[in-house]
Amino acid sequence: MQTKFSASITESPTGNAAPVMFCAYILLALVLPAAMEAGTHVVNSLDPAQLPVALQAGRTVTFAATGSIVQTNTITISNNVVLDGTNQSITISGGEAAPLCNVLPAGRFALRRLILANGADNASSGSPNPVPGPSG
């Protein structure tokens, strides 16, 4: 979703542009946060079912909870997504049972401020492009 914002600054009848500028700033303050949040999906709990759903939606995925998410199945990334753990302490674990994710050629996957741990290796999964995690 693209949000376009334009404004023209004209002087008021008294010759003072300040009231017009103030209204423009207020309008921008109301519109800009909604436009920025349009591409963000929030994972509200550590339930492992929430993460793949949020990742499939694409764009930026953030967290409203702190802790570990143990995935028992490999997550497939087929789009452009940023997984952002900023302001939380998030660990995503494969429980040594599954690779953490499989990034398909059409997908791009970026990580910010989170820990990947205990992913299984490629040989045990049969997945061609898994991301096993640091200990996998």
Same domain, 43 and 97: yes
Question: How many domains does the chain divide into?
Answer: 2
Same domain, 111 and 85: yes
- This prediction has a pTM of 0.62
Instruction: Give the pLDDT of residue 93.
Output: 94
Instruction: Give the pLDDT of residue 39.
Output: 81
Same domain, 80 and 107: yes
Does position 49 have pLDDT exceeding 70, yes or no?
A: yes
18-22 average pLDDT score: 54
Task: Lowest mean pLDDT of 5-14, 66-75, 86-95, name the range.
Answer: 5-14
Same domain, 34 and 66: no
Instruction: Give the pLDDT of residue 9.
Output: 44
Domain assignment present for 115: yes
Instruction: Give the pLDDT of residue 37.
Output: 47
Same domain, 71 and 110: yes
Does position 110 have pLDDT exceeding 70, yes or no?
A: yes
Query: Beta strand 101-103 with 115-117: parallel, antiparallel or unpaired?
Result: unpaired
Same domain, 57 and 116: yes
Phi, psi of 30, rounded to the nearest 5 degrees: -80, -35
66-87 average pLDDT score: 93
The boundaries of the domain holding residue 5 are 1-38
Domain assignment present for 113: yes
Could you tell me where the beta strands, DSSP code E, fall in 37-95? 40-43, 59-63, 67-70, 75-77, 80-84, 90-93
71-85 average pLDDT score: 92
pLDDT digits (tens, 9 = 90+) for 52-62: 999 988 899 99
Share of the chain above pLDDT 90, in %: 49
Same domain, 77 and 126: yes
Domain assignment present for 136: no
Token reading at 97? 């049972």
Q: What average pLDDT does the structure give for the chain?
A: 75
Domain assignment present for 116: yes
6-34 average pLDDT score: 49
Domain assignment present for 12: yes
Instruction: Give the pLDDT of residue 135.
Output: 47
Q: Cβ atoms within 10 A of the Cβ of 67, count?
A: 11
Same domain, 82 and 34: no
What ranges in 65-136 are assigned the alpha helix state H? 122-125
Same domain, 32 and 71: no
